[in-house]
Structure 1
Amino acid sequence: MRIHKRDKARRRVFALLLAGVVAVSGASVLAAAAFAGQRPWWSQQQAGANGQVGTVACGDVGEALDTVPEAAQPDVDRDLADLDVQVADAYRSLAEPGAGGGEQRVMGALAQKRSATLQKIAANAGPDSGLPKDLSGLANCAVRRDLVVDASARDFSADGRGGTTPDKNAASAAKSGGLGRSFVDIRSVAPNTAKPARTGNANGTFTSQCGRNENRHLNPDNVIVAPGVSNGAHHMHDYVGNKDTDGFSSNNKLAGAGTTCTNGDQSAYYWPVLRVLDGTNEKDAKAPGGGKDRNIGRILQPAEVGITYTSATGNKVQPMTRFLRIVTGDAKALTNGPANAHASWSCTGFEDRQLADKYPICPSGSRVVRTLKFPDCWDGKNIDSANHRTHTAFSKNGSCPKNFRAIPQLTERVAYDVPTGVRFAVDSFPEQLHNPITDHGDFINVMSRNLLDQVVSCINEGRRCG
């Protein structure tokens, strides 16, 4: 059995999230009183009359899970994926023109479907799952009109029609609102990066050169969170490293696959694609993960991809185990809140200025940069956990939590040549509205033992390898 205890802080975060979604007379609303007079983080955004669009917010069932029996994990993962489908379908129904009058019907039907699926999850996960006995709070969802989406992702239709003329000058466009409220000129951001607390001398680095996804390995699956499910992510992923990664990849399949990495690293590295909204579309404009999930526009191939391992604290690290799964960021951070949002955005030449909830407008000649830092502590036992998080952790104040060990910290740095003045957006679950705070990354370690030992020795001995 997988047993993973969440700390009190995590439980409080989940309780607040769940308290924010209640059902009243069959219609879902935000329960602001549950925050004891505190304005929730999402209501602090500036909402404009022309840019405000509602979305669907539900309690994150996966985040609630503490324990799932090993044999039941596949069924639970598939049921969790079904919950995502239900939310996406409800959002599509509400977003269709003329669907406003059917809000109560749509949300009522969603609650019924979620209730049935939650009963299955609770039965499979067992009494120690961490799920509340009363599942109604998780079944009922809210229509959230306080969450803001700007025009950056709504001006182009899935069939490629519509759209506006791209702004000719990024700075003037930002000033006039032409790029939308989700964009900010990086030059207007003050330096905000601080050096992490380092308590040791393990300052080496190890780099895997894995290319820029030149072979266009793309799919909308997520083998970590939704194994055995097609379109489990509802957005397209870029992959480097392991060539056979999809929603149906077993450990044996990953171990037998080729790799794009020059050092034989067969690990799977992946993240949501970035799309430019210039009026053109990909061949997935009417496909799952693409236009059917409201991910439209032209997919940008990365101009740079960096796969680097370091010690986050300077303390000596220990090897990861083969097939360890690690995720960073939160694909549902728009509705979940920022507790697990660890991705950031910047521009080359300005990477001392990092943005969490805005897209950067970069000067001419500067590339848009996404930085995805992964947890650097591991419980030393489990390759995964019920909620895919609690077997790993981020170090704090230079050390790992009790009973966790320091491991090499993976950083995925992905840079793009974005045309000046053209809007862009990261792929997301449809109801997450392409918000930059939902950026995230995934990793499955498929290194050989020799390579794992090499990573650790390079870091601990202060050498630069790769």
Structure 2
Amino acid sequence: MSYASLPEPDASRPPSRHRPPSWFVRNRLGLAAGAAVALVIATAGVYLGGADVTPEPSNAANALEYPSPSAGQAESPGAATSTSATPAVSATPSASTTPSTAATPKVPTTGWIPVDRAAWKAQADAYQKVKVDPVPAGVGNLPEFRADCQYSHRLPDDPIVAPGLPGASHMHSFVGNKAVDAHTVAGDLTTFTATSCKPVQDHSAYWVPTLYDNATGKPVETTGFRVYYRSLAKTSTGQMPMPNGLRMISGDAKKKKPTPRGATGQFYCAFYGPGDLDGIARSTNGNWPICGGNATLHFMMQFPDCWDGRHLDSPNHKDHVAYGSGNGCPSSHPVRIPAITFDIQYPAKGTPAGYYLSSDKEGKSASSMHGDAFVMWDVDTMNKRTKNCVLQRRTCDNDGYQK
């Protein structure tokens, strides 16, 4: 399996190297660079945001057109129902990978969902006490760890945007936790832990709109879905782990602009060796590359690296997180967390007929590509990997240090 790397600072497209560097150029993917540097947190410093600060809405508001549940809707931080960051797990969880269906399905809480402050403080305190493992010789200096995932299942559900409403979204392709559907809440991710990811300590769920072959109407599912947790900055000062239960979205499902050669936010061709990453040709509508040689379609997507320290979600699923700038996070989002990056590989080379995403069947561009992350890890594993790999700026794979 090949994985494309991220773009060089002065390049107009991602290079063909498969090994990602330790930084990320946000302009290539059309992502905002964020506010000016406001706060750099000391290594043992702040891990809870101010108790009385309501985040201002961002300019990158989520614009998905899904209906909202009529119950359990929290309109503001003060109205939100508390949701535990580390939900209790039944003493005798079911062996099934599919949650049982109750007579009255639960409607997950939405809106400003507060973190369980006691649980987060306990995780942060434990993180500060974690000792760094000895680093074997030859380990790289890319500050990251990862999970390698395979396609799990496909549903017209979205437990972040349309929780409790099965069939309310466009079709999504899920990787990671195998039990995810419209009714999934954080506790389900710890009870039903069967996963298509390695390491198995990653119980998270990740999903993107389903890709379809325009000529046949058949879905094209991923053959490789790598999830990086990395530092985007030049230093890891103040680095903290990811809180369990955090959910967020990258991209815009309503964006329906053409994606011609050279456009930001397009699929590209990746493989080992030289070649044209924008394709040797384009689909008839110009929106999709046709790959040469051994190249196949890839897509890369970056999530924010700063958190407000107070909420696991927000009404638009974006305002509780933010992109850092330089080596700092904005004062409104002072907690530096690992930045999730999706590196997605498809078993398709491109055709004149091209493709379409379930989020834009009519326009058939790639601009509506977006991703969802519902984070849930074994806490000790998350803490250890963040300390060993991201804070210490060492390259780790699914099992730890990468040799």
Match of 1:263 among 176, 194, 199: 199
Q: Secondary structure at the match of 2:340?
A: strand
Structure 1 unaligned residues grouped into runs of 5+: 18-56, 74-123, 126-200, 280-296, 336-340
For the pair 1:67 / 2:76, whether they are aligned, the reply is yes
Match of 2:186 among 251, 258, 264: 251
Match of 1:415 among 321, 345, 358: 345
For the pair 1:225 / 2:154, whether they are aligned, the reply is no
For the pair 1:207 / 2:207, whether they are aligned, the reply is no
Q: Structure 2: how far apart are the matches of 1:408 and 1:324?
A: 12
For the pair 1:346 / 2:268, whether they are aligned, the reply is yes
Once the two structures are superposed, the pairs formed by residues 291-306 of structure 1 within 5 Å of their partners are: 297-306=217-226
Q: Structure 1: how far apart are the matches of 2:173 and 2:392?
A: 33
Give the aligned partner of residue 100 of structure 1: none
Q: Structure 2: how far apart are the matches of 1:270 and 1:327?
A: 10
Q: Secondary structure at the match of 1:454?
A: helix
> What is the deviation of 1:315?
2.9
Q: Which has the higher contact order (CA 8 A, sep 6+)?
A: 2
> What is the deviation of 1:407?
0.8
Give the aligned partner of residue 393 of structure 2: 462
> What is the deviation of 1:276?
1.1
Once the two structures are superposed, the pairs formed by residues 300-339 of structure 1 within 5 Å of their partners are: 300-316=220-236, 317-334=239-256
Identify if the C-alpha distance between structure 1 residues 367 and 353 changes in structure 2 by more than 3 Å, giving closer, same or farther: closer
> What is the deviation of 1:423?
2.9
Q: Calculate the TM-score normalised by the size of structure 1.
A: 0.51
Higher-Rg structure is: 1
Identify if the C-alpha distance between structure 1 residues 422 and 365 changes in structure 2 by more than 3 Å, giving closer, same or farther: farther
Which letter maps to 1:206? Answer: F
Give the aligned partner of residue 364 of structure 1: 293
Identify if the C-alpha distance between structure 1 residues 358 and 455 changes in structure 2 by more than 3 Å, giving closer, same or farther: farther
Q: Is the 8 A contact 1:327 1:441 kept in 2?
A: yes
Greater helix fraction, Structure 1 or Structure 2:
1
> What is the deviation of 1:351?
9.7
Identify if the C-alpha distance between structure 1 residues 345 and 399 changes in structure 2 by more than 3 Å, giving closer, same or farther: farther
Once the two structures are superposed, the pairs formed by residues 58-457 of structure 1 within 5 Å of their partners are: 67=76, 69-71=79-81, 203-210=142-149, 212-213=150-151, 216-234=152-170, 236-257=171-192, 258-264=194-200, 265-279=202-216, 297-316=217-236, 317-334=239-256, 343-349=265-271, 358-404=287-333, 405-429=335-359, 433-457=363-387
Per-residue CA deviations over 1:409-438 (Å, capped at 9, x if unaligned) read 111111112245353334234686343111
Per-residue CA deviations over 1:381-408 (Å, capped at 9, x if unaligned) read 1100121110001122342211322111
Instruction: Please give the root-mean-square deviation of Cα atoms over the aligned residues, in Å.
Output: 3.8
> What is the deviation of 1:460?
1.5
Q: Secondary structure at the match of 2:301?
A: strand
Q: Is the 8 A contact 1:376 1:407 kept in 2?
A: yes
Identify if the C-alpha distance between structure 1 residues 58 and 395 changes in structure 2 by more than 3 Å, giving closer, same or farther: closer
Q: Percent identity?
A: 26
Identify if the C-alpha distance between structure 1 residues 326 and 432 changes in structure 2 by more than 3 Å, giving closer, same or farther: farther
Q: Is the 8 A contact 1:327 1:442 kept in 2?
A: yes
Give the aligned partner of residue 147 of structure 1: none
Q: Secondary structure at the match of 2:188?
A: helix
Per-residue CA deviations over 1:28-53 (Å, capped at 9, x if unaligned) read xxxxxxxxxxxxxxxxxxxxxxxxxx
Shifted more, 373-382 versus 258-267: the winner is 258-267
Q: Secondary structure at the match of 1:437?
A: coil
Q: Calculate the TM-score normalised by the size of structure 2.
A: 0.58
Q: Is the 8 A contact 1:2 1:67 kept in 2?
A: no
Size of the aligned set, in residue pairs, is: 269
Q: Secondary structure at the match of 1:224?
A: coil
Per-residue CA deviations over 1:174-222 (Å, capped at 9, x if unaligned) read xxxxxxxxxxxxxxxxxxxxxxxxxxx9842201122x21xx4110111
Q: Is the 8 A contact 1:3 1:67 kept in 2?
A: no
